[in-house]
Amino acid sequence: MTAQPAPSIADELRGAGLRVTAGRVALLETVRSGDHLDAETIASGVRDRVGHISLQAVYEALHALTAAGLVRRIEPAGSPARFEGRVGDNHHHLVCRECGAVRDVDCVKGAAPCLDPSDDEGYLVDQADVTFWGLCPNCRPKTP
């Protein structure tokens, strides 16, 4: 039995019903090669790959890719929106209060939504977003 090759980014875009453009391919490559990047950092990465692209075009593409489920948007309090390529699971985030570093942390209890509200008020809950705040190893006080 042979494993199927992973779909190309162009195939993923087509599968999500999106037009394949050099900008969208470069944007998805940038997000997936980065670590919880903001829109301006993504724009810079796209420009390195394909040349000029406006920040507005980056925001529009990020919106389309997020709506299609190819990119995940997170919004830590006090920070600009960040984007990541890890989608399709119910993971959470660790955020440093000092430097703003963001790291993924797997779900506390396994499958989505992994946490249940004390009263779901009739909602069908399918995801839980949890942000753990603290100081990263570089920012926390060093113990003698």
Span 55-102, pLDDT tens digits = 999 999 999 999 999 999 999 988 899 999 999 887 889 999 999 999
Q: pLDDT tens for residues 94-123?
A: 999 999 999 999 876 666 667 778 888 899
| 26-38 pLDDT per residue, tens | 999 999 999 999 9
Report how far residue 144's alpha carbon sits from residue 141's, in angstroms, rounded to the nearest whole number: 9
Which amino acid is present at 64?
A
User: The pTM is what?
Assistant: 0.84
Predicted pLDDT at 112:
64
Token pair recorded at residue 82: 């960040």
Tell me, what amino acid is at 47?
R
Q: How does DSSP assign 59-82, residue by residue?
A: HHHHHHHHHTTSSEEE--TTS--E
